[in-house]
Amino acid sequence: MNKFQKKKPIACREILVLDLTGEFFFCAKERKPFRWHCILADTLASANKAVQDYNFFVAIAVLSKKTQHRVLNSVNEINQRQQNIIWIAVLIDIDAVDAALISRLPYYFTDYHHLPIDWDHLNQTLGHAYGMAILKQKEQGGCRHLGQKTPFLGDSHLINKLRSNITKVAASDEAVLISGETGTGKGLCARLIHSQSARKRGPFITINCGALPQSLIHSELFGHEKGAFTGADKQYIGHIERANKGTLFLDEIGDLTLESQVNLLQFLEEHIIERLGGNKTINIDCRIIFASHINLETAVEEGRFREDLYYRINILHLHAPSLREHKEDILLLANEYLNLFSPEYQKYTLSPKALDIMLAYEWPGNVRELKNRIHRGIIMANSDQLSAADLGIKITNIKPDENDVVDLAQHRVVIDTELLLDAIKRNNHNISAAARELKISRTTFYRLIKKCKIKL
């Protein structure tokens, strides 16, 4: 086992090499020069100690058929304590990699290499990863530790894009429509828009249109005067009026009755309300954010939602992606909720099998379901490592056949092709813009296009 020299953690070009086989470190020692100071961890215990003694930005995990499960388990444990490390995989048994490992690579590693190693390529990969880690740390104002409150968790492309769009629409005062399935964080999006807007010092009023009895919707929105109807024994200030100088968030707007839709459309056009039973008009200055889990275009076609109202509220549109669209964020989210719900005297982690099931699960309840299942798991667990049974998720036939051999190179071409085509489409066939989005050079982009046989 390598001897570790304890020292003050500083930002330097040291990398952790988790290698239970010894093959990579032997090759690295023979390679002159190799521009990185490798700190070898040849046991799981020494890997844990190295992370405590050094402030790593980048790490290499060496996986063989015999060690892959132990190594992934160790990577998982380290990630749950230190999420800022960017991991690169080095695969020993390139000709016999099972499907389970293939499916898990994107959730742990930003890239992978295999023996024999292309050292120039590896140096480029490590340099890029190191630079991205430094940039990420600067953007976060230093290392983000578990438990630190963050507005919207996730490092995936979809979540980063959503964050960027939230900032953009917050600068405007126009209506915003947030679409997305139940549990995807539409309410959080609305709060972030308000908190980043010029109205952040004003009230943020939320109303769930689907939770209100139809007979009370008008009164809840616009208010009523004393005696306006039976039981109205005092004046009531409606949600729209209470949101004056601030933001009103109308959740599940698709559940409004057609009559209420007419009244709402009139307010959006005139910014004036009149309490039920009253004859005084009141000017209102508020921004309104709408959200719906149903497809409003379909509702319009079916006559359940007014077309003129739909186009009036759909000036700015955000989409909160389902969790199955950004599964690469599951580990980060799970770690955050483990930290949130774990008592001070005990720290919980996830078993490798539990993580496998979480990555295979479709999450119909999205992030809200993930949060609730982690909470349930901590309550039901018999040890400090949550099992699949603790989470209450059952998926049959998740483990692939051990003899199922995958051509890794072919699998990577499929993934690269999909990424390249998506980037080209999103950037309207602007190659420079697509390359910048994928954070690679134009030369690399054209090389990948040629390799994947993509016709422009």
Report the pLDDT value the prediction gives residue 25, as an integer from 0 to 100: 66
Give the tens place of pLDDT for each residue, 13-63.
778 888 887 777 666 655 555 567 778 888 888 888 888 777 788 899 888
| Triad 385, 91, 435: Cα angle to 5° | 100
Give the tens place of pLDDT for each residue, 380-425.
888 888 988 889 887 654 444 343 344 455 556 656 776 777 788 7
Give the tens place of pLDDT for each residue, 297-343.
999 999 999 999 999 999 999 999 999 999 888 988 998 888 888 87
Query: Which DSSP string corresponds to 94-122?
Result: TT-EEHHHHHHHHHH-SEEEESSP-HHHH
Report the pLDDT value the prediction gives residue 323, as an integer from 0 to 100: 94
Report the pLDDT value the prediction gives residue 117, as an integer from 0 to 100: 80
Burial of 153 (0-12, 13-18, 19+ CB in 10 A): middle
Top pLDDT among 77 and 4 is at: 77
Report the pLDDT value the prediction gives residue 10, as an integer from 0 to 100: 38
Question: Contact at 8 Å (CB) between 185 and 320?
Answer: yes
The third-level CATH classification (topology) of the domain covering 14-139 is Rossmann fold (3.40.50)
**Gap between the Cα atoms of 442 and 454, Å rounded:** 15
Which residues lie closer than 8 Å to 80 by C-beta, 6 or more apart?
146, 335, 338, 349, 350
Question: Contact at 8 Å (CB) between 268 and 175?
Answer: yes
Strands (E) across 191-271 are located at 204-208, 247-251
Top pLDDT among 111 and 137 is at: 111
Report the pLDDT value the prediction gives residue 30, as an integer from 0 to 100: 57
Report the pLDDT value the prediction gives residue 456, as an integer from 0 to 100: 62
CA distances from 332 to 89, 229, 339, 378 (A): 19, 52, 11, 17
Burial of 154 (0-12, 13-18, 19+ CB in 10 A): buried
Q: If you average pLDDT over residues 257-284, what whole number do you get?
A: 91
**Gap between the Cα atoms of 149 and 190, Å rounded:** 17
Torsion of CA 284, 288, 292, 295, to 10 degrees: 100
Question: Contact at 8 Å (CB) between 264 and 310?
Answer: no
Choose among 427, 452, 451: nearest CA to 437. 427
Give the tens place of pLDDT for each residue, 342-370.
876 677 888 888 888 898 899 999 999 99
Choose among 61, 95, 93, 110: nearest CA to 406. 95
**Gap between the Cα atoms of 350 and 388, Å rounded:** 9
SS3 176: strand
Taking the CA atoms of 337, 338, 341 and 345 in sequence, report the sign of the dihedral they define.
negative
Of 96-100, 307-311, 439-443, the poorest mean pLDDT is in 96-100
pTM above 0.85, yes or no: no
The upper half-sphere exposure of residue 232, i.e. CA atoms within 13 Å in the direction of its Cβ, equals: 18
Which tokens sit at 300? 């319009």
SS3 294: coil
Give domain 157-319's CATH number out of 3.40.50.300, 3.40.630.10, 3.30.470.30, 3.60.20.10: 3.40.50.300
Report the pLDDT value the prediction gives residue 144, as an integer from 0 to 100: 39
Choose among 108, 115, 64, 54: nearest CA to 86. 108
Q: Verify cis geometry, omega within 30 degrees of 0, for the bond prior to 106.
A: no
Burial call 343-360: b when 16+ CB within 10 Å, e when fewer: eeeeebbbbeebbbbbbe
